[in-house]
Amino acid sequence: MYILVTYVPDSHLEVVKEAIFKAGAGTMGSYDSCCYQSQGTGQFRPLQGSSPFIGDVGELAQEREWRLELVVNDECAAQVVDALLESHPYEVPAYHLIPVLTLEGLSDE
């Protein structure tokens, strides 16, 4: 199991969530569409050669974004990341796929 963390502008939050839920993220037991989201401010400076969705090349930009966190099963991790990259408006979306150790995954040896 993994936790996927990504940062999404307000304009695309629901689009990205729908795509990654459809790919299998956010399922826990008898529940689906599970996620945690919180607002914050992302900062970046597009460099020469970039094609930014927001901001201008060479200028520091700040954007209200949603931090989105979801569980992802091993079997669908690649499809979920592909769905994230296809649905996200940023040229280079930031994301983390973090392995999770749960008590159910531990043996009593």
Q: How many domains does the chain have?
A: 1
Q: What's the Cα-to-Cα distance from 4 to each of 1, 31, 51, 78, 100, rounded to whole Å?
A: 10, 17, 25, 11, 10
Range of the structural domain that residue 17 is part of = 2-39+69-105
Query: In angstroms, what is the C-alpha Rg of the chain?
Result: 16
Q: Is residue 52 part of a domain?
A: no
- The verdict on residue 51 lying in a domain is no
Cα–Cα distance for residue pair 69/47, rounded to 1 Å: 28
Give pLDDT tens digits for 9-30: 999 999 999 999 999 999 999 9
Please report, rounded to a whole number, the percentage of residues in the chain having pLDDT higher than 70: 96
Q: What is the CATH number of the domain that holds 24?
A: 3.30.70.120
Examine residue 56 and state whether it is found in any structural domain, yes or no: no
pLDDT in tens, the chain (109 residues): 999 999 999 999 999 999 999 999 999 999 999 999 999 999 999 999 999 998 999 999 999 999 999 999 999 999 999 999 999 999 999 999 999 987 876 765 5
Residue 60 lies in a domain: no
pTM: 0.88
